[in-house]
């Protein structure tokens, strides 16, 4: 069974390195895959700026330290800052829900 889990963990890490984009979290720069479908506020003209939420996935193998709720990270491509509202783990991944602090502060 451990060989199977190793296979899944390595597969998740390789997939994130191909599909992901850079974030900086807890002083570490790594790749994450963002689920933009959650970010409805960024998809239309009359978006809800009170709830700029998104989800992302990080490979467990790539993390030096598991993030905590309320930790912040920066999306390197846009310079936006997010704070983590939920964290869950699954095979090979850390799934994070976060709120865009940068867009929340822009009025």
In the chain, what are the domains?
2-105 (2.40.10.210)
Asked if the model's pLDDT at residue 40 lies above 70, the reply is no
Residue with tokens 């998104």: 54
CB 9 within 8 A of CB 91: yes
Task: Tell me the pTM.
Answer: 0.75
CA distances for 83 relative to 9, 65, 74, 78, 80, angstroms: 25, 16, 9, 15, 10
pLDDT tens track for 45-87: 554 445 578 899 999 989 999 999 999 999 998 899 999 999 9
- Please tell me which of 28-37, 48-57, 90-99 the model is most confident about, judged by mean pLDDT: 90-99
Q: Is 41's pLDDT higher than 50?
A: no
Is the separation of the CB atoms in 82 and 73 below 8 Å?
A: yes
């Amino acid at each position: 069974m451990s060989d199977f889990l190793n296979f899944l963990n390595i597969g998740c890490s390789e997939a994130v390195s191909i599909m992901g984009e850079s974030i900086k979290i807890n002083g570490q720069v790594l790749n994450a895959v963002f689920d933009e479908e959650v970010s409805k506020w960024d998809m239309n003209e009359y978006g809800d700026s009170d709830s700029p939420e998104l989800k992302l996935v990080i490979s467990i193998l790539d993390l030096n330290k598991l993030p905590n709720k309320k930790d912040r990270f920066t999306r390197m491509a846009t310079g936006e800052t997010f704070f983590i509202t939920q964290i869950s783990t699954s095979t090979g991944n850390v799934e994070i829900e976060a709120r865009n602090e940068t867009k929340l502060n822009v009025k």
